[in-house]
Structure 1
Amino acid sequence: MKAVILAGGSGTRLFPLSRKNYPKQFLKIGSSKSLFQNTVLRLSPISKDPIIITNKEYKFHVINQLKEIGITNYHLIEEPVGRNTAPAIALALKFAIEQLDLPEDEVLGIFPSDHLIEPTDLFVDYVKKAEKVAKDYLITFGIKPTKPETGYGYIESGEKINDYTYKVVKFHEKPSLEKAQSYIQKGNYYWNSGMFAFTISNILQELKKHSLDIYQLFQENSYQSLLENFQNMPDISIDYAIMEKTGKAAVIPLDLKWSDLGSWDSVYQTLDKDQNQNVKEGKVVDIDTKNSVIISNKRLITTISVEDLIIVETDDVILIAKKGETQKVKDLVNTLKENPQYKETTEIHKTVYRPWGSYTELEEGERYRIKRIVVNPGESLSMQMHHHRSEHWVVVRGTAKVILEDIYGKERKEYYIHENESIYVPKSTKHRLSNPGKIPLEIIEIQVGEYVKEDDIIRFEDNYGRT
């Protein structure tokens, strides 16, 4: 089996932790590893070199997180625009056939990158069983429900194929509570996990039958051409495009711990709790507090005699919500997007990750901005210039290599700056910051000028193709 990991989603239902530029799959929730990292590790016994498809904006999140867990053998596809799961899977199919020369009877396993699944060994057993029947069916994985959940779609199973596989009767949309309760009572309904397994030939046949627009684009274009014309793909999920229409759908029910962590309520249900049924992370001191989620990033959060609350603190946002109402976080994010004052807050954190490391905004005023910059060992920022600001760098940790060059390129100097040393970068001076050392380089950057926004930057050279 070749695993295809879908890592391009930009969901914001876990705002303020999850935001457009750093979405849920890269968060470390209740674990020392991110959801994406755990997905890759969970699939490693099944597929040693997975195909990972992500948005081009998340490329370096993927690369850096794989590096953290020592994964070097993988294939990375960068979607130029988001087009939902059916086009993403079609692009992965084209890559598998054209770039990897996989045969048409190869089974592809399709797995979202932002799910929590335990235990791993049981999950691996289920996937290996699916590989056996995926030669004849389009397999979807259903989750044995533990309660009448209204936040998930359901799969209705029918005729038995073997000891662990059933034909799909119908896919059902997210139900009312009354309907969900009836599904549980009937016993042949399962949560739709969004995970699939099928052969290349079978999914291509079904695309031809049920999603001709995607199939024609697939047939008419090479992989590179399909990538370049990806914006012409319809925005549609694999469920709507194929699975709800095909006569070959079969479901394998999974009886294990699973969550798509699609809301703060599902985070509460999933994570470990204290004796008062509270989920707590970070600096939290509570008195007579029950049934709540309290997550602190930096500040101390204190509570007295509260129940059923979701409290999440980040550098720039504090979310307080009533437990049971967190599906409305999506509405909150949409409201913030409509306000120019807060729109940027829905997209980026105070800490912003870059291919070379990260920066954290510490303070900003009318004519100044202060950042903490961390450059990973061996990495380098672009050779760049600013028209409206000068910069002063103070090294806190590590050794910085700094190149300064006048705008005409007539004079170029290199400097090595160590802890508690500093260097000044005047306006309109081409400059580059690198970390030649073995430990992360940490500096404090003070920007001063009439304009200190991120778009006052001209890149001349860049190791990451951003010029």
Structure 2
Amino acid sequence: MYTIILAGGFGTRLFPLSRSSYPKQFISLFGDRSLFQKAIQRALLFSKPDEIYIVTNKDHKFLVEDQLQQIHTSCNVLLEPCGKNTLPAIMYATVKINEKDPDAKILVLSSDQLIEETDVYNDAVKTGANLAENYIVTFGIVPTTPHTGYGYIQKGSALTGGYKVSAFKEKPDMETAKKYLAEGYLWNAGIFCFSSKVFLEECRKAAPDVTEAFTHDEERAYALTPKISIDYGLLEKTKDVAVVPMSVKWNDLGSFEAVYCVHEKDERGNAVDGEYITPDGSNNLILSDRLVSTIGLSDIAVVDTPDVLMICSKNQSQKIGGITELLKAKNDSRVVSHTTVHRPWGTYTTLMCGGTYLIKRLVIHPHKRISLQYHNHRSEHWVVVSGNAEVTNGDTVRVVHTGESTFIPVGCVHRLANASDDRLEVIEVQNGDLLSEEDIVRLGDDWERIK
């Protein structure tokens, strides 16, 4: 079976943990693996690495490749020219798979969900694969509580291992959610299974504009296709939809309240990642790298990052999108990036910023190097604090060892490389009147980032 993993989201519903350049699917919220890496591991239960197709965007290409390398896996990576929601993303990958195998069965997973991998999960996927001969199959989570943050699926007539879908329901209010729970409705998990033949035929009938768009190459296809979800574009229009109930722990982690629900808690109901002291606080979510203390506060979320502190009532955390919109309106870069920014060669972390100076910590992965470049508005001073740096400085190439430094004048062509098997760490001090990524003129780059 083939697997499509949707990993193109820029979601900031978990801001400030999640930023558009490093969204929640790439964050290690639970354990040492990100949600994306956990999705890859789920996909490997049914697919070989070359049968897995990851749909992401150009901004996250190197994050995907880096996280695949961390778990020693190589998969197919498809880059969307722009985001057009789930139906075009699934169509893009399905067309590619169909070219390779017209009889393919395909499982579609989201990269940002937390799912308990049990025999129940495995059996449900196998049941879905059997039904996929004749239906587009969706998987419905058996609810444990009324919830207003999820869509619901109403079951129809029984099938072998599942049901025909009677109706899809929007996110309800609490009274309606209680009614749905009592009547046996299922949560819509956004997980699908189908044969490429059935999917393409149903799309031809229900979404002909999307189908027609993908008769062209991806650049042209994304210019032509409407922006539409698989729910609105296909599932609500076709009669051949089945649902397989899945009684597993599942969470789409769409808010900090959702994160709290699945996090381990202490005797007072506090979910803590970090250090927290309180004489009276209960049912709080605390995520911080430093000591957090509260007095007289319960049922709150405290999310502390190096550049942003967010505090809210847990039951208001669904409104965090309003904060990100305010930041976007101010063109504030903090909605885009953390203080640590990931690059294909490693990371840089902003340590201190002044009017005419900027101090960063660069980490260069083994056998990687930054682009060959120069700056028109700043000089740079590099101090090697760990490892050995191969430094191009004008016409000179030399190795700078731990504890040594070098100076890069304004306008001088330079490059920093790590030729060893160990991590290279460098402190960079910039001086000038323009201290931004805009002041980089690339002359050579291993990742084709030359404009």
User: What TM bracket, shorter-length normalisation?
Assistant: over 0.9
Partner of 1:375: 364
Partner of 1:409: none
Partner of 1:448: 431
Alpha-carbon offset, residue 120 of structure 1: 4.0
SS of residue in 1 equivalent to 2:254: coil
Partner of 1:65: 67
- Residues 8-19 of structure 1: matches in 2 within 5 Å? 8-19=8-19
| Unaligned 5+ runs, structure 1 | 406-411
The TM-score, its normalising length taken from structure 2, stands at 0.98
Q: Which amino acid aligns with 2:442?
A: R
Alpha-carbon offset, residue 338 of structure 1: 1.3
Q: Is the 8 A contact 2:97 2:104 kept in 1?
A: no
Alpha-carbon offset, residue 115 of structure 1: 0.5
Q: Is the 8 A contact 1:296 1:312 kept in 2?
A: yes
SS of residue in 1 equivalent to 2:78: strand
Q: Is the 8 A contact 2:371 2:445 kept in 1?
A: yes
Partner of 2:54: 52
Q: Kindly indicate whether residue 161 of structure 2 is the aligned counterpart of residue 169 of structure 1.
A: no
Q: Tell me how far apart the structure 2 counterparts of residues 170 and 287 of structure 1 sit (CA, whole Å).
A: 49
- Residues 274-423 of structure 1: matches in 2 within 5 Å? 274-297=266-289, 299-340=290-331, 343-405=332-394, 412-423=395-406
Partner of 2:4: 4
Q: Which amino acid aligns with 1:383?
A: L
SS of residue in 2 equivalent to 1:159: strand
Alpha-carbon offset, residue 287 of structure 1: 2.7
Alpha-carbon offset, residue 304 of structure 1: 2.6
Q: Tell me how far apart the structure 2 counterparts of residues 462 and 282 of structure 1 sit (CA, whole Å).
A: 39
- Residues 188-207 of structure 1: matches in 2 within 5 Å? 189-207=185-203
Deviation sequence 1:261-319 (CA, Å, 0-9, x none): 0000100111111111111012333332210100003x321223321010000010000
Partner of 1:35: 35
Alpha-carbon offset, residue 233 of structure 1: 1.6
Q: Tell me how far apart the structure 2 counterparts of residues 117 and 232 of structure 1 sit (CA, whole Å).
A: 35
SS of residue in 2 equivalent to 1:345: helix
Q: Which amino acid aligns with 1:102?
A: D
Deviation sequence 1:140-195 (CA, Å, 0-9, x none): 00001111100000010110011x210000000000111101001111x1110011
Q: Tell me how far apart the structure 1 counterparts of residues 101 and 349 of structure 2 sit (CA, whole Å).
A: 44
Q: Tell me how far apart the structure 2 counterparts of residues 287 and 465 of structure 1 sit (CA, whole Å).
A: 55
Q: Is the 8 A contact 2:81 2:218 kept in 1?
A: no
Q: Tell me how far apart the structure 2 counterparts of residues 167 and 97 of structure 1 sit (CA, whole Å).
A: 25
Q: Is the 8 A contact 2:272 2:286 kept in 1?
A: yes
Partner of 1:84: 85
SS of residue in 2 equivalent to 1:282: strand
Q: Kindly indicate whether residue 425 of structure 2 is the aligned counterpart of residue 436 of structure 1.
A: no
Compared CA separation, residues 120 and 418, structure 1 to 2 (3 A): farther
Alpha-carbon offset, residue 464 of structure 1: 0.6
Alpha-carbon offset, residue 453 of structure 1: 1.3
Q: Tell me how far apart the structure 2 counterparts of residues 115 and 388 of structure 1 sit (CA, whole Å).
A: 44
Compared CA separation, residues 121 and 390, structure 1 to 2 (3 A): farther
Q: Tell me how far apart the structure 2 counterparts of residues 228 and 402 of structure 1 sit (CA, whole Å).
A: 42
Q: Is the 8 A contact 2:42 2:117 kept in 1?
A: no
Q: Is the 8 A contact 2:120 2:246 kept in 1?
A: no
Q: Is the 8 A contact 2:270 2:283 kept in 1?
A: yes
Alpha-carbon offset, residue 42 of structure 1: 1.6
Q: Tell me how far apart the structure 1 counterparts of residues 350 and 340 of structure 2 sit (CA, whole Å).
A: 7
Q: Which amino acid aligns with 1:277?
A: G
Q: Is the 8 A contact 2:273 2:288 kept in 1?
A: yes
Q: Kindly indicate whether residue 100 of structure 2 is the aligned counterpart of residue 95 of structure 1.
A: no
Alpha-carbon offset, residue 371 of structure 1: 0.2
Q: Tell me how far apart the structure 1 counterparts of residues 120 and 182 of structure 2 sit (CA, whole Å).
A: 25
Deviates more, 1:13-22 or 1:210-219: 210-219
Deviation sequence 1:208-263 (CA, Å, 0-9, x none): 111110111123x2xxx234442322110000000011100100011010000000
Q: Which amino acid aligns with 2:70?
A: E
Q: Tell me how far apart the structure 2 counterparts of residues 25 and 120 of structure 1 sit (CA, whole Å).
A: 21
Q: Tell me how far apart the structure 1 counterparts of residues 105 and 322 of structure 2 sit (CA, whole Å).
A: 39
Q: Tell me how far apart the structure 2 counterparts of residues 42 and 307 of structure 1 sit (CA, whole Å).
A: 36
Report the count of equivalent residues: 448
SS of residue in 2 equivalent to 1:76: strand
Partner of 1:182: 179
Compared CA separation, residues 121 and 43, structure 1 to 2 (3 A): farther
- Residues 111-190 of structure 1: matches in 2 within 5 Å? 111-162=109-160, 164-187=161-184, 189-190=185-186
Deviation sequence 1:351-399 (CA, Å, 0-9, x none): 0000000000011111000000000000010000000000000011111
Q: Is the 8 A contact 2:281 2:295 kept in 1?
A: yes
After TM superposition, the runs of 4+ consecutive aligned structure 1 residues lying more than 6 A away are: none
Q: Is the 8 A contact 1:83 1:231 kept in 2?
A: no
- CA RMSD across the alignment: 1.1
Q: Which amino acid aligns with 1:68?
A: Q
Q: Is the 8 A contact 1:43 1:124 kept in 2?
A: no
Q: Tell me how far apart the structure 2 counterparts of residues 254 and 229 of structure 1 sit (CA, whole Å).
A: 34
Compared CA separation, residues 279 and 106, structure 1 to 2 (3 A): same
Deviates more, 1:40-49 or 1:418-427: 40-49
| Unaligned 5+ runs, structure 2 | none
Q: Which amino acid aligns with 1:451?
A: L
Deviation sequence 1:402-428 (CA, Å, 0-9, x none): 0122xxxxxx21110111110000000
Q: Which amino acid aligns with 2:28?
A: K
Q: Which amino acid aligns with 2:172?
A: P
**Percent of residue pairs bearing the same amino acid type:** 43
